[in-house]
A and B are shown apart, each in its own frame.
Chain A
Amino acid sequence: MISLDLLIGLSVLYVIFLFVVAFLAERAAQRGRGAWLRSPLIYTLSLSIYCTAWTFYGAVGFAARSGLEFLTIYLGPTGVMIGWWLVLRKLVQIGRAERITSIADLISSRFGKSTLLGGIVTALAVIGTTPYIALQLQSVTLSLEVFNENASANGPASIAFWVAVGLAVFTIIFGTRNLDVNERHSGVVMAIAVEAIVKLVALLAVGAFVVWGVAGGVGNVLNSIDASPIARWEVSNARWLGLTFLSAAAFLCLPRMFQVLVVENSDERHLAVAGWAFPLYLLAMSLFVVPIAVIGLELMPAGSNPDLFVLTIPLAFGQEGLAMFAFLGGFSSATSMVIVAAIALSTMVSNHLVTPIWIRATESGASVSGDIRSVVLLSRRVSIAVVLGLGYLYYWLSGGGTALAAIGLISFTGMAQVLPAMLGGLFWRNATGIGAAFGLLVGFTVWLYSLFLPSFGPDVMLSSDVIENGPWGIGWLRPQALFGVTGLDPVIHAVFWSIALNAFVFVVGSLLTSPTPMERLQMMQYVGVTDLGRQARGRVESGADSEDLLIMAQRILGPEEAQFLFRSAAAGQGLTGYLPEPTAEFLEQLERSLAGSVGSATANAMLTQMLGQSNVSVEDLLAVADETAQIMEYSSQLELQSAELTKTAQQLKDANDKLMQLSHQKDAFLSQISHELRTPMTSIRAFSEILQTAGLSAHDQTRYASIILEESQRLTRLLDDLLDLSVLENGQVQLDLSHVQLGDILNRAVDAADPEGQLKIKRRKSAEDKHLMTDAGRLAQVFINLISNARKYCDGDPKELTIRTRNQGDFVVIDFVDNGTGISRADQSVIFEKFARVSDQQKAGSAGLGLAICKEVMANLGGTVAYLPGQGGAAFRVAVPKEYQATGG
C-alpha cells in the first residue's frame, strides 16, 4: 500500500520540478533565447488547461452516470477551434492590437472603456470561477483519500487548505513577476505545457492498461460496453445540443481560457496549428473515458465513486506505480487550472476593481501620487490569495460531496453569460454598453437564482419551499421551472433562460440607446479590425506636457521602457531627444502601452486625468463629426498618404526652421565671439596702459600684471576651445584609441572636475567595470565637462550627483543626474549650442562652449550626449559605443 506521506512527498517533488521548469523557461525568455517557448506546440499544450481535474477524474464519472453525454464538453471547444477563422482569429487580432489583458478588459474596452462593465464582468468571473477552483481542491483531496484508507490525523479539509496555499505561492512567484501582461508569463506557460503532457500520458496509460491489461482487447471492451448499464444511446436531445453550446461558449469566455487563448498568444498563426492540434488533444483525452467507465462499473464493488475509477482500477489490480502516475496526472490537471485561473482573475480584479477605486480615491490622480506599479502588483498578489481563499471556502461550505461534473457545469453557465456581449461587441455595430451591462446583469441574476443558489441544496441558500412553490407561492417564478417550463433538466433550463434573457435584453437595450462617441470609436476598432488599418483617434492635440507624461509613464512601465517609447515616438516625428509632441497618435500609442499594464479603462482614465478636460471636448467634437467618421472608415488609405505628407511637410518645416536658426546663430556667433574676445582684450589694453604710467607701487604692478596674465589665459582658453570645436566639427580630429576601463576614466574625470569635493557623488563602482575601446582623453573631457557643470550650476543643498552606468546593446550608457531644479523645457533645446549659457553667471570664465564641445566629441566617438528630461534634476545621458568604429567615408 502506498503511504500518504509518499504521495505528498511525490507531489512536493513534482511541484519543485515545475518550479525549475518555470524558472528555466523564464530565464531563457529573458535572455532572448525563448523563441521555441513561443511555438505553436507550446501554445496548443497551454490550451489544455481546459482539461482540468474535471476531465481527468470527472469525465469517467460523467460517462458512468450518463453515457456518451460527457463528449459534449469536448465537442463544443472542438467546434470553436476548427472554426478558428471565424471568431478566435478576430479575438486574437483585437487582443494584440488593443493590448487586451483579460476578458473583462475586452468587454470594458469595446464598450467605451467602461469601468462599470469591467467591474461587472470581473465580479461575474470571480463568482463563477470560485466553484471551479473548489472542484480542483476537492478532486485533489478525493484522490489522496483513495490511497489513504485509514483516515489520517489530517482531515481532508486540511489537505485542501495546504494545496490552496501551495498553489497561491507558486502563482504569486511566477504570475506576478511582470506587470505588463503583454510580456507574457513564459515560465507559467511552460510549466503548464509540461503538465499537459503529464496528464495526457497518464490518462492514456490508464486507458491502455484498462483496455489491454484488464479487458483483454478492443473487441472485449466493445462487448462490455454493450452489456453495461450505459449500453444504449439515451442522451436527451436538449442536453446534447445545450451542453455542446454551453461548452463552446465557456471555452471562449472562461477567464483562464481567454488568458491562454488570447493574452498569452504571441502569434496569430499559431491558431492554424492549434486549430487541429487541440481537437486532437481533446480526442486523445476522451478516447478511453467510456472503456474506463464501463470496466469500472463492471468490476468495482457497487457504490464506489465513479469519479475515481482512474485511480481505483489500477489500485484494485495492484498497479501501484500506474496509480501514482495517474495521481500525478490528476494533480497536474488541478494545479495548472488553478494557477492560470488565479492569474487571470487577479489581473481582472486589480485592473477593474482595485485600480479604478484607488484612482478615484486619490483625487489628485496618477500624476502626483507614488509608484503605481507597486500598488498594482500588490493588489494582484493579494487577489490571488483571495481567489484561492474563496475557492477553499466554497469547498468547505459545500462539504465536498457534489459530483465533479455538476460543479463544472454551474461554473460554465455563469461565465457563458459574457458570450452575448462578447460576440455582439465583435460583430454588431449597434451594440451599446448600456445594453451589454443590462444583458449581463439579467443573465447573471437568472443564473444565480436558477442554478447557483439551488446548487447548495435545499434550505442552504434558498428554502425548499421557494424551490418547490416559487417565492411567495408564485408558481411561474420557481427557480428550476421559470415561466412554468417544467420537465427540463436544471442545467439546460438555466442555460436556456439565462442566455436567452441576457441576449434579448442586450439587443433591446442596444436598440433603445445610442452609443457614446467613445463607444463608436471603439466599435470601429473592434468590428472592423480585420479589414482596416489602424487610424488615429480619440484626443485632440492638447496642452499636455510631454515631460509630465514621461514621468507618469516611467512609473507604470518602468524607466527604460518608457524612455524607449518616448524616444522612438520622438524619432518618428522627426525630432531628437526624449520628448515627442503630444499628438493624437502619440497619446493613442501611449494609452495602449499603459493599457497593457493596467487595463484599458484605467489607462484611459489616467490619461484623461492628466490631460484635463480635453477628452470631453473630443467627445463633443466627435459627436459632431460622427457622420464624417463613417466615411473616414473607408478612406484609411487616403489618410495614410496624407499622414505621410504631413510628416514630410513637418520635416521640411523643421529643416527650414533649423536653417533659419543656423543663420541667426552664425550672426550671433560672430557678434558673440567679437564680444568674448573683446572683453579680455579691453582689460589687457587698459591695464597695460596703467602699467606704462610711472609711479606705481610694486604691489600694484604685480596685481595689474597678474590681471593681464589671467585675462590672456582666458583668451587662450577661449581660442583653444574654438580651435578644438572647429577641428571636431570638421571631423579632422585625431583619435587616440586604446582599451580602457570606464571606471578609470570616471575616476580621472571626478578628480579633475571636482578636486575639492564640493559635490557628493554617488556611483556604483561595480557597474562601472566595463571595458571600452575608445579615446580615453576625449571621453574624460566630456565627463569632466558634465561633472563641473553640475558643480557650477546645481542648486541643490547639499549638491549631489548620481552617476549610473549600464549596458544597452552595443553601447554603454552613463547618466549624470543632479539634485538641482533641472533645466527648463525651453532651454533644453539650446544648451548644446555654442555660447549658450542658461544662467547669466559668468562663473569660472566659461564661454558656453563646454556642452557644444561635448556634443562634437561624442559625435566623433560614435556616441551621443543628450539631455534626459523627467529625472528630477538636470540629467545628461552619454552613450558610448563599446568598440569605436570608424564611420565609412
Chain B
Amino acid sequence: MTQPKSNNRRSHDRRRRVDAAIVLPLVGAVLVFVPVLWPSADSATPVNTSSASIYLFLVWAAMIFGAVILAYILRPSTSAEPSDD
C-alpha cells in the first residue's frame, strides 16, 4: 500500500473496491431471502424457530463483518474523489 502504484493499477483497485461495495448488499439480500425457500410450517419437515433464529443472526453478523471490511477498504485515502486517470 505504501509503494506508489501506476495510475492504471490504482484505478483498477478502486473499481474493485466499489464493486465490493455493490456486491455486499446483494449477497446479503440473497442470504436474508433464503427462508423463502424453506418448507412451510405444515410440511413434513418444518424449520424450527430456534435454528431459523441462529441462521438469521449469523447472516446478520456476517453482513456487519462485511460492512466493517468495506468501511476499511473504502476509507477516505482510497475513496478520494473519483478522478479516473
Contacts and interface: CB of A to CB of B under 8 A. Distances in A.
A270 to B, nearest CB: 10
B67 A276 contact: yes
Contacts of B21: 83, 85-86
Interface residues on B, range: 35 or more
Contacts of A272: 70-71, 74-75
Given A231-B48, A240-B33, A290-B49, A81 B67 contact: yes
B47 to A, nearest CB: 4
A149 interface: no
Interface string A244-286: 1000000000000000000000000100110110011001000
The listed residue with most B CB atoms (<10 A of its CB), out of A75, A82, A230, A280, is A82
A876 B18 CA distance: 55
A206 interface: no
Interface residue SS majority, chain B: helix
Given A68-B56, A222-B50, A279 B63 contact: yes
A221 to B, nearest CB: 8
A86 B28 CA distance: 14
Interface in B1-53: 18, 21-22, 24-25, 28-29, 32-33, 35-36, 38, 40-41, 46-50, 52-53
Contacts of B70: 82, 85, 272, 275-276
Contacts, number: 106
Interface string B41-85: 100001111101100110011011111101100111000001000
The listed residue with most A CB atoms (<10 A of its CB), out of B22, B46, B63, B76, is B63
Interface residue SS majority, chain A: helix
B48 to A, nearest CB: 5
Interface residues of A, number: 37
A82 B33 contact: no
Nearest to B69: A276
B46 A82 contact: no
A71 interface: yes
Given A226-B48, A531-B82, A283 B60 contact: yes
B28 to A, nearest CB: 6
Contact of B32 (A228, A233, A244): A244
A85 B76 contact: no
B60 A78 contact: yes
Nearest to B43: A232
Contacts of B74: 85, 272
A717 B27 CA distance: 87
A226 B25 contact: no
Nearest to A273: B71
A389 to B, nearest CB: 39
A241 B37 CA distance: 12
B28 A235 contact: no
Contacts of A86: 21-22, 25
Contacts of A885: none
Given A68-B56, A283-B57, A530 B48 contact: no
B78 to A, nearest CB: 11
A824 interface: no
B32 A79 contact: yes
A287 interface: yes
Nearest to A530: B82
Given A230-B49, A232-B41, A232-B49, A82 B56 contact: no
Nearest to A237: B36
A244 B28 CA distance: 12
B34 to A, nearest CB: 10
Given A232-B47, A233-B38, A279-B63, 9 more contacts: A78-B63, A79-B25, A85-B22, A226-B49, A240-B33, A244-B33, A272-B71, A276-B70, A530-B82
5 contacts: A78-B63, A85-B22, A233-B46, A233-B49, A235-B35
Interface of B: 18, 21-22, 24-25, 28-29, 32-33, 35-36, 38, 40-41, 46-50, 52-53, 56-57, 60-61, 63-68, 70-71, 74-76, 82
